[in-house]
Structure 1
Amino acid sequence: MVIDVQGDGMEAAEQPVFLLGEGLNALEPAPFDTEAEFQALLARHPRILDFGSLADGRPLRLVLVAREMRVPTSIESGSAYWLDHLFVDADGVPTLVEVKRAADTHIRREVVGQMLDYAANGARYWPAALLRRTFEETCAVDGRPLEDAYQELLGGQSPEEFWATVEERLAGGRMRLLFVADRIPLELRAIVEFLNRQLRQTDVYAVELTQYRGSGDHRVLVPRVHGEVATANKTQSRSGQAGKWTLADMDVALESRSPEKRQVALALLERAESAGRPVGNRAGYPSFSGYLPASGKEVPVWTLSLRDDQDKDDLAFSFGSITHHLGSDVTSAFADALPAVDGLGQRLATQWAKGFKGWPSVSLAALSTQPEALGQVLAAIEQLMSDDST
């Protein structure tokens, strides 16, 4: 038996808890035998981590994407980290979970650096197509019908739209980072509270999961959540961007850009509006994605982002999604048609070697200072939409 009890942030009690049935059964605090046992428990019972709510007020329900999720460290490198668990909710917000037992000394500080590595690299190297494939493979291994799994997530969307949203959340830093242990040291709590105050889009929590065992199979799990106060304090500051960016928002942001940059951005947005669908993202800065028709499908092709630092305004191409929908040959032809400006040529060559799974980008400044470059981008998009091979 597993009982979920929502914690109040107080220290876990060392005294027993009592289960009243036909008699009185005392359950004593008991450590998890191994970290693998701890991890398997969370994978089977994600409701233990379901605290809080979705944007529309519905209860949070986490769904497992993968246990031991591979996190590449670069496009070129074969090396990788391994995240203990990746979950996602119906808002498309990814939740990264790292599990440690109190006996592991890494729970104090090293785990924080690990988690930040996972978050930074996952945001860069987890395209929608990879996330979808991983989720569906996990469902197959667990024997869970895809229809049942998606019923908890889609809410009327297509799987393509949902995973594109997850990818957008990652790119914008909208995610949860959860440190889970049977005992959370004070040092880790302090770091969690500090990170929560500093990170605008990312929520950070430490979840202390105390296990109590009694006679027979009786078991009680008591989660206590640390970090909620800091999260609540910053919710107000970002509530103005609770929804997606609108075209009106982009117009306002573009007023502070140069005429040349505005021309590039407006040309992309207008083409998406006339031929497909521009979709506002939920990022911490004005951001739009262009969904365009190709081979009878609506494919997310690019994301335009206007950063707080205007020198970092950029246009990124969703090669992972294009490859997933249209195949690597079409993506290769699209890459060949793009302009080799601002180091884009080298990034495209790297993508070719890695199977076209990433997000190669080019700065708006480079596109705006080379007028022919914008024409090449628009021509490449037209070719993608009209390619007979699709």
Structure 2
Amino acid sequence: MDQIEPGLQDVISVCMELKLPCGSLDNLFMTPDGDIIIVEVKLWRNPEMRRTVIAQALDYATDLFGMDYESLEKAVLKSDFNGQKPPTQLYDMFGDAEVLAEHDFVDAVNRNLKKGQIVVLVVGDGTNTNLENLVDGLQSHAGFHFTFALIELEVFRGEQANDEFLIIPRTLAKTYLIERAIIQIDDQRSQVSAAPTTSGAVAASARISITSQQFFDDMQARHPELPNKLKAFMDKLETLGIYIEFKKSLNIKWNPPSGKPINFGYVNRNGQLWTDAATWFVLEKGQKYLDQLAKAFDGEVIINDNGNRYVAINGKAPRVETIMDKFDDWYEVIKAYQETFYDDD
């Protein structure tokens, strides 16, 4: 999942053979944050699969889009639990995991179903060129809403009959969000009509994932101008060779001429900006960077109980909306910091 949606962590298997209006979904997975992953397993060598597998997987996704938490829970509790007694409720399946409060979990699942923010995985024992091209065409024409990925399982076995199997997964298709669209697939061709975009939509400079979309939704809730300002800041940083890595947080990273990647700061989904990682591999330079950044933010550098330094405002790591008007100053601090690596040459 790290290669597909790195922000979706602690994935658990919910059930098999989930009964949906269009058929039985092979596998349903979820996360403690209410994220949804569906998996359909096929044999690529089956000629019929070449024509129907993507349409079938998208049919399952469409059925889920029409559900809410209550209807999904009812379907899950009627599914196959490999002979085990089903749980009393869906929420109980996460056990001791660090799960959201129940009402927040229900809200998150409902939101993902309503927006179509799910991951659709088609897994097989080999690849088919035409099938992979079909997905590429589908992704390039549809808009963004759910993530689709093709995964090949390469199967190896030793020479002896009782040798164990070695199974290596490989992601075949690049993954990004696909907006709900009208998709027609037949023997001769595939046709995709993307849903129309709304005039109020925020234009992103790059394809987005479910992970990043959820992040920007949270930023929108913090301040209506914050997503646009963050994206403009990201575009500007890209001119310096800096890249954004979405996991549970937005990470601002750079690969210096030598050594390990540097993290200039990471923004959690609650909006809090942490800069303690900036000194991990370059202590002296990192400390100077934090001093300059604290000055730009009218803040201070604090040392926590673990001895890590970070920029704070009024004694706490700042919320990103409180410093969004200082992104240009942050850019200049980062640029000056990068130059110190070349001054040493």
TM value normalised by structure 1: 0.42
Normalized per residue, the structure richer in helix is 1
TM value normalised by structure 2: 0.46
